[in-house]
Amino acid sequence: MIASLDGDDHEITARDERRTPRDGADSVVRAIADSARATARDAGLPLHEILAVGCAAPGPLDHRTGMVHEAPNIVGFKEFALASRLSDALDGLTVFVDRDTAMAAIAESAIGAARGARDFIYVTVSTGLGGSIVSGGRMLRGTTNTAGEIGHFPVAFQLDTTRDAAADLPRCGCGSYGCAESFAAGRNLADAYGVADAAEVFAASARGDARATAIVIRAERALANLAVGLVNMLNPALIVVGGSIADNQPGHVLEPMRRAIADRAFRAPASAVRVVPAALGGDVGMLGAVFAARERLSGRGEWFL
């Protein structure tokens, strides 16, 4: 995507979308580079006139080095030097990589639902479940820059101690169990019901299908625990919730989060927080990447680095 961002306004000049190849990291890099070149061509912009490129990727990754540690959903992204590989494929252009949810939080902060908020959490409930934490006006990065993986906070275990701790729990893509993602993310909902798309699970539940309803209830319970925990632990002013599942099923995502916070979180932080839908839709990660590249290039990105 090529976009212009002026103050609160943004305009998308050119864009290109491709399916993520499943046959290894080299193909993924080639596809991204091809997409970037096509976008530049559409915009009539020669590659050598571009100052920097922003790239949003699934994490955990290190945005300082551009190294992706592990991305369970992309074949071959394991300790993969994405920024430098992509730079090589784009004639040496400067490439700034960051986690997709960090890019999204940056965009929502700059031109979206979190404008002006110094303490907010961006949550995406989509294929996966991720997020980014901004506290006291700074993005929380951690000691090796992988902080923010809120979808992999375990919110359940098997209560029956005569059984294994993971018994009856869905396995998470990260290899663990109990993670909020393993209950509430789109792929996990679909897998649990044995269909291709989470929309079918919600539709079946709405028709009264008991198995689908059980899956949806567990997803809501997981999101409820996550929301209460975020509020008690981090005391944000705002939880901005985006992603396709949240956009399409706010009654099964934002509503249970709000109810749980009102019913179960400490009163002081509960009354200080609002749970709101994200403002920037499916483009949020790419808009954040454009914005972040500009800010990092100009040395203004310190708050999110």
Looking at beta carbons only, is 45 or 165 nearer to a second copy? 165
CB of 42 to a second copy, least distance (A): 36
Give the x/- contact pattern for a second copy in 237-276, rule: CB under 8 A. Answer: x-------------------------xxxxxxx--xx---
- Which of these segments, 11-19, 46-54, 90-98, 222-230, binds a second copy (CB under 8 A)? 222-230
Token code pair at residue 271:
């009354």
- Residues constituting the chain: 305
CB of 184 to a second copy, least distance (A): 12
How far is Cα 125 from Cα 74, in angstroms, rounded to an integer?
A: 18
Report the candidate in 68, 100, 103 with the shortest Cα–Cα distance to residue 83: 68
The neighbour count for residue 53, using CB atoms within 10 Å, is 23
CB of 104 to a second copy, least distance (A): 16
Looking at beta carbons only, is 174 or 199 nearer to a second copy? 174
Report the candidate in 199, 179, 181, 180 with the shortest Cα–Cα distance to residue 190: 199
Give the x/- contact pattern for a second copy in 37-76, rule: CB under 8 A. Answer: -----------------------x-x------xx------
Interface of this chain with a second copy, residues 118 to 177, rule: CB under 8 A: 118-119, 133, 135-136, 138, 140-150, 152-159, 161-162, 165, 168-169, 174-177
Does 236 bind a second copy (CB under 8 A)? Our answer is yes
CB of 294 to a second copy, least distance (A): 23
If residue 55 lies in a helix (H) or strand (E), which one and from where to where?
strand 53-57
Phi, psi dihedrals of residue 50, rounded to the nearest 5°: -80, 130
Looking at beta carbons only, is 93 or 183 nearer to a second copy? 183
CB of 197 to a second copy, least distance (A): 22
Among 90, 228, 275, 278, contact with a second copy (rule: CB under 8 A): 228
Looking at beta carbons only, is 51 or 214 nearer to a second copy? 214
Helices (H), the chain: 25-42, 82-89, 100-111, 180-184, 186-193, 198-206, 210-234, 244-248, 254-264, 267-272, 284-297
Between strands 53-57 and 95-99, the pairing is: parallel
Looking at beta carbons only, is 49 or 161 nearer to a second copy? 161
Looking at beta carbons only, is 54 or 178 nearer to a second copy? 178
Question: What is the b/e burial string over 8-41, where b = at least 16 CB atoms within 10 angstroms of the residue's CB?
Answer: eebeeeeeeeeeebeeebeebbeebbeebeebbe
Q: What's the CA dihedral at 228, 234, 239, 243 to 10 degrees?
A: -80
97 residue type, one letter: V
Which residues of the chain form contacts with a second copy (CB under 8 A)? 60, 62, 69-70, 118-119, 133, 135-136, 138, 140-150, 152-159, 161-162, 165, 168-169, 174-178, 213-214, 217-218, 221-222, 224-225, 228-229, 232-237, 263-269, 272-273
